[in-house]
């Protein structure tokens, strides 16, 4: 936990302005006005002397004057970054028990923050638990009590007691409404404990109240995916993409995969192409180019699929990619491409009889019968493709002989 010393002093002086609560005496009131003027004039020595003189007077233990003076002195010292001294004065103020419940709750929160700031988590937890125990059933009716629950939740989380932390953070958000740090903690614990329905609600609240934060869209999309709500997962990522909030390669790839999964491969391909063009995705990364090729293939745009695979092959040659290029080109009836990919590939790889048959058919389709028949003859002895080769030879010889007449 962090503690900020940047506090407006007008809020530190803390004269009693609360309805239905005790009032300070006229003497203390005017002395605090003198203190405030000295402070505002920058005469800190005089201001502090006034507070010392006030607090050293013989006050009853439960004096409201004493409580206000000690609280004012404590906040003054904190503003001067004299945290240990300020902490002592705030404890004196709290121990008077003179404040109405709402004022007391605000003081408790400040003291607890100082315990945490001093890395005294056990003392922080004990202090807050004792405070709540004293309040009993009145606790949840006190304005500002949500801050106490929130601090306890954060403290228990730092102590890695996530069960207690979760019980208090649930109370905090139920009473106090949305607070970003509360919902971040609530979501983190729910995700860790696999409370996915609750995590979905927490992630949704973070997106709702912090729509400019990209990570919350990614979180919500991930939870939707775990709950198998794929349309919602896609929609959430899509919104973050449209808001230009995605910036990590895996986020673009995840969105592209979602589009493919939801039968929208064309959008997947567009996301990937945009990412490759504007530098959000590595233009030579195998996974990106393979996914782009698959997306265009599923979108029935085989030429673009081949183009993506060809780029992959040029950057990272492999027998697997070369065979994929031959397959795609053949089933797209791109005979010249089949022949070119085969010629280039045979310098590095042995494709085998299946691809030799495909190339022979490609030559046949290009009416280069002599080359075609010669390749078919080389396959006659093959156990798997021999019979097909003989049939193709008969067909090629018949067609070529007819063309001679």
Say how far apart CA 79 and CA 4 lie, in whole Å.
Answer: 9
Question: In this model, does residue 16 exceed pLDDT 80?
Answer: no
Tell me which of 19-33, 74-88, 142-156, 229-243 is least confident. 229-243
Q: Are residues 303 and 347 in the same domain?
A: no
Segment 148-159 shows an average pLDDT of 93
Tell me which of 113-127, 340-354, 372-386 is least confident. 340-354
Tell me which of 125-134, 170-179, 316-325, 380-389 is least confident. 316-325
Q: Are residues 232 and 182 in the same domain?
A: yes
> Is 114 within a domain?
no
Residue 136: its pLDDT value, please?
A: 87
Burial 290-301 (b: 16+ CB within 10 A, else e): bbbbbbbbbbee
- Give percent of the chain above pLDDT 70: 80
Confidence class for position 259, pLDDT limits 50, 70, 90: low
Question: In this model, does residue 241 exceed pLDDT 70?
Answer: no
> Is 167 within a domain?
no
Confidence class for position 10, pLDDT limits 50, 70, 90: very low
Beta-carbon count within 10 A of 58 CB? 6
Q: What is the CATH number of the domain that holds 272?
A: 1.25.40.10
Q: Are residues 370 and 349 in the same domain?
A: yes
Segments forming the whole domain that contains residue 195: 178-245
Domain boundary among 245, 276, 297: 245
Segment 153-163 shows an average pLDDT of 94
* Dihedral in degrees, nearest 10, Cα atoms 161, 162, 165, 170: -160
Residue 401: its pLDDT value, please?
A: 74
Sign of CA dihedral 36, 38, 42, 44: negative
> Is 351 within a domain?
yes
Say how far apart CA 249 and CA 16 lie, in whole Å.
Answer: 56
> Is 284 within a domain?
yes
Segment 383-392 shows an average pLDDT of 89
Tally of structural domains, the chain: 3
Q: Are residues 359 and 371 in the same domain?
A: yes
Most confident of 24-38, 237-251, 259-273: 24-38
């Amino acid at each position: 936990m962090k503690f900020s010393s940047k506090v407006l002093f007008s809020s530190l002086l803390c004269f009693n302005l609360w309805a239905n609560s005790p009032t300070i005496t006229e003497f203390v009131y005017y002395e605090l006005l003198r203190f405030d003027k000295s402070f505002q004039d920058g005469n800190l020595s005089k201001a502090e002397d006034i507070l010392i003189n006030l607090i050293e007077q013989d006050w009853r233990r439960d004096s409201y004057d004493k409580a206000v003076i000690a609280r004012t002195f404590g906040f003054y010292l904190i503003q001067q970054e004299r945290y240990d001294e300020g902490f002592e004065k705030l404890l004196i103020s709290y121990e008077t028990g003179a404040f109405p419940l709402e004022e007391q709750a605000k003081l408790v929160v400040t003291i607890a923050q100082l315990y945490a700031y001093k890395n005294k988590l056990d003392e922080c937890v004990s202090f807050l638990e004792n405070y709540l125990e004293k309040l009993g059933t009145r606790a949840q009716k006190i304005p500002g009590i949500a801050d106490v629950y929130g601090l306890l939740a954060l403290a228990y989380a730092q102590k890695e007691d996530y069960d207690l932390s979760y019980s208090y953070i649930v109370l905090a958000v139920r009473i106090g409404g949305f607070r970003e740090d509360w919902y971040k903690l609530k979501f983190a614990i729910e995700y860790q404990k696999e409370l996915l329905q609750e995590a979905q609600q927490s992630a949704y609240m973070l997106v709702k109240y912090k729509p400019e934060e990209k990570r919350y869209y990614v979180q919500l999309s991930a939870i939707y995916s775990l709950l198998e709500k794929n349309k919602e997962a896609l929609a959430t990522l899509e919104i973050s993409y449209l808001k230009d909030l995605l910036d990590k390669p895996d986020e673009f790839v995840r969105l592209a995969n979602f589009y493919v999964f939801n039968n929208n491969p064309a959008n997947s391909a567009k996301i990937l192409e945009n990412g490759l063009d504007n530098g959000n995705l590595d233009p030579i990364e195998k996974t990106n180019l393979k996914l782009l090729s698959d997306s265009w293939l599923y979108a029935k745009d085989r030429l673009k699929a081949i183009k993506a695979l060809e780029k992959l092959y040029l950057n990272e040659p492999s027998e697997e990619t070369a065979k994929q290029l031959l397959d795609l080109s053949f089933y797209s009836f791109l005979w010249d491409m089949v022949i070119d990919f085969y010629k280039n590939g045979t310098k590095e790889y042995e494709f085998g009889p299946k691809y030799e048959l495909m190339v022979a058919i490609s030559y046949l389709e290009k009416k280069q019968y002599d080359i075609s028949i010669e390749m078919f003859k080389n396959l006659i002895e093959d156990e798997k493709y021999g019979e097909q080769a003989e049939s193709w030879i008969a067909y090629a010889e018949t067609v070529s002989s007819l063309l001679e007449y």
